[in-house]
Amino acid sequence: MTMRHVNPIIMLTLLLFMAACGNTPKEDLLAALENASQQGTPLFGHQDDLMYGHTWNVTKEDDRSLERSDVLATGGAYPYILGLDLGWLEIDSDFNLDGNDFDLMREAAVKHYERGGIVTLSWHLRNPLTGGDTWDVSSDKVVESILPGGEKHEYFMGWLERVANYIDSLKDSRGQRIPLIFRPWHEHTGGWFWWGTGICTAQQYNDLWKMTYNYLAVERKLDQLVWAISPGAANENFEVWEERYPGDEYVDIVGLDGYCATYLPQEEALPLFVEKTRYCLESLNRFAKEHGKILALTETGYEGLTYDKWWTEVLAPAIEGIPISYLLVWRNTDEMPRGMTHFYAPWPGGPSEQDFREYVDSGKIKLLQ
């Protein structure tokens, strides 16, 4: 049937109906990101913000209200973006790799969305070939083994099915699936994850991304997902990351994962972070413009926050004038083997608390108001 054969009254009714429906939740999410990018006010994000903080943990304590937040306690509002990780969902665990109860994570995601925030999901999944963890790079055959025809293909599709089911279960109180920034296969320009450079070929990486997209977005029709790709920061030839890019139809956001080095003395690490972050973000910004994508700083931070002016004197100049839509700092946990230093967001009584408050008050980043 051609358009000429459609009854004009039906057509008009349809158009009026579509106009009345307004934006979809996914379109609203994209619009919020576009807007933040154009205004030059990135949305502030924190990994696991509602799940645990410097001195508390909802999975382990009786208070499961999901009201606590280190960002709220120091900056006066929840972060705009809540990051959560799906690692271990694939092996049917009740808890993710960092100890979060998956049911509580679902509640946190929905609650954050209903407060007006945006949720992003990463996936530090285990190694499907060796049985090791996400950092097990002992074999360069892992990606090959899960692609169609590979010995672990069916097994891995079972993992993806669990991820699809969980994503499908993230629904608001009206029963609508909540929009999500999905950020799989991240930091693929580094060599520390089994999908990284040197461990699989560019072709295999791109095929892995497309297989993931085709299953989740096409076969399972999870059309509420916004797809983000995150190369890791590198000092030179950052442009080579582009060979590990599946194509414009599979990606909405290009983001950088880049941290301030803790293995260098502070007087070297801080300026290096500013220089490197700017270099990579400017390169990504050119790419984003050419390809019509949204730019973000998808992971960042300085472990331990041992510099008390980190926010206004280091992070702010690292991103000044670059149209990132959001930035996300990593998690605040004391459960690391090497001790209590794995903190990236401010916490009450922490060294950079005052500076964070100043950064928020300056209006240069946006919390959930």
- Which residues contact ligand BMA (rule: CB under 6 A)? 85, 87, 97-98, 124, 330-331
**C-beta closer to ligand BMA: residue 323 or 350:** 350
Residue nearest to ligand BMA (CB): 124
Q: Rounded to the nearest whole angstrom, what is the least distance from the CB of residue 102 to ligand BMA in the complex?
A: 14
Q: Rounded to the nearest whole angstrom, what is the least distance from the CB of residue 134 to ligand BMA in the complex?
A: 8
**C-beta closer to ligand BMA: residue 98 or 252:** 98
Q: Rounded to the nearest whole angstrom, what is the least distance from the CB of residue 3 to ligand BMA in the complex?
A: 50
Nearest residue to 79 (alpha-carbon basis) of 103, 110, 50:
50
Cβ pair 134, 126 in contact under 8 A: yes
**C-beta closer to ligand BMA: residue 88 or 227:** 88
Q: Rounded to the nearest whole angstrom, what is the least distance from the CB of residue 36 to ligand BMA in the complex?
A: 24
**C-beta closer to ligand BMA: residue 277 or 283:** 277
CA 206 to chain centre: 19
How far apart, in Å, are the Cα atoms of 191 and each of 38, 104, 188, 210, 232?
34, 32, 7, 21, 10
Q: Are strands 56-57 and 52-53 parallel, antiparallel or unpaired?
A: antiparallel
Name the residue with tokens 């799906």: 86
Cα 297 from Cα 295, distance rounded (Å): 7
**C-beta closer to ligand BMA: residue 150 or 184:** 184
**C-beta closer to ligand BMA: residue 85 or 355:** 85
Kindly give, in sequence order, each residue whose CB lies less than 8 Å from that of residue 244, ignoring residues fewer than 6 positions away. Answer: 188, 189, 197, 202, 205, 206, 231
Q: Rounded to the nearest whole angstrom, what is the least distance from the CB of residue 356 to ligand BMA in the complex?
A: 20
**C-beta closer to ligand BMA: residue 128 or 323:** 128
Q: Rounded to the nearest whole angstrom, what is the least distance from the CB of residue 97 to ligand BMA in the complex?
A: 5
Cα 200 from Cα 320, distance rounded (Å): 35
Nearest residue to 156 (alpha-carbon basis) of 137, 130, 181:
130
Q: Rounded to the nearest whole angstrom, what is the least distance from the CB of residue 71 to ligand BMA in the complex?
A: 17
Q: Where are the alpha helices (DSSP H) in the chain?
A: 8-21, 25-39, 70-75, 102-114, 142-146, 153-168, 202-213, 266-291, 316-319, 353-361
